Structure 1
Amino acid sequence: MSVTKIDDVGFANAIRQQGVTLVEFGAKWCPPCKVLLPILDELQQEEGERVSILQVDCDESPDIASQFGVMSMPTVIVFHNGEPADKFIGLRPKDVYQQAIAKYA
């Protein structure tokens, strides 16, 4: 399993209504986003079914980025049971995301 790329259209259906979803808002040209993606892929491998990790390209899906107030990239929003629960702006160490998953899982 790896990070799943989604867009404005598929966003609502991709967010888990039960459990934890991490959504990374970034862009192809964003250097910190490029560093973050392998970390998130690794997390998805480690956490398996416990969490769903999604990626939104802000250039391709500006509406959903705007809806959640994404002003800088990368931004990771943690959804718990379909609702935003936490937001991390900028590149963070892997353990920050692990702790967020553990907090809501």
Structure 2
Amino acid sequence: MQQLQSIEQFNELKDNGKTVFMFTAKWCPDCHVIDPHLDELQEQYKDYVWVSVDRDQFIDLCIDQGIFGIPSFIAFDRGEEVGRFVSKDRKTKEEVQTFMNGLPS
């Protein structure tokens, strides 16, 4: 999964194509529960570009996007938000699959 490098990159990815942003932090144990499944999820949902956003590096972006708990996911399709799975709770592979299956195709 690629790492977000800048706000400009966020806007470019958000506005061009289908992108899932995973908001996370290195110190967050709940964020790492999903780590072993990320490659499989990316392969299963390869219509989307998957991008990891470090909460500590992009705290202002998190505030702008209403991310107050991690891990959280927001999906965009050509600039339009098409889904969000945002909470402070740990996420399972099955919960992320349910979120992704609920996105418009």
Same fold, judged at TM 0.5 (above): yes
AA matched with 1:21: T
Bigger mean CA deviation after superposition, 8-17 or 54-63: 8-17
**Which runs of no fewer than 5 residues in structure 1 stay unpaired?**
none
Q: Under a length normalisation based on structure 2, what TM-score does the superposition of the two structures give?
A: 0.79
Structure 2 equivalent of residue 73 of structure 1: 70
> Which of 69, 81, 84 is the matching residue for 2:81?
84
Structure 2 SS opposite 1:78: strand
Instruction: Report how far residue 23 of structure 1 moved.
Output: 0.8
AA matched with 2:82: A
Structure 1 SS opposite 2:82: strand
Structure 2 equivalent of residue 94 of structure 1: 93
Instruction: Give identity over the alignment, percent.
Output: 29
Bigger mean CA deviation after superposition, 4-13 or 64-73: 4-13
Q: For residues 56 and 34 of structure 2, what CA distance do their matches in structure 1 show?
A: 17
Structure 2 equivalent of residue 56 of structure 1: 53
Q: What is the root-mean-square deviation in Å for CA atoms of aligned residues?
A: 1.9
Q: For residues 96 and 86 of structure 1, what CA distance do their matches in structure 2 show?
A: 13
Q: For residues 7 and 67 of structure 1, what CA distance do their matches in structure 2 show?
A: 17
**Which runs of no fewer than 5 residues in structure 2 stay unpaired?**
none
Q: Under a length normalisation based on structure 1, what TM-score does the superposition of the two structures give?
A: 0.79
Instruction: Report how far residue 65 of structure 1 moved.
Output: 0.8
| Kept after mapping to 1: 8 A contact 2:33/2:92 | no
Counting matched residue pairs gives 101
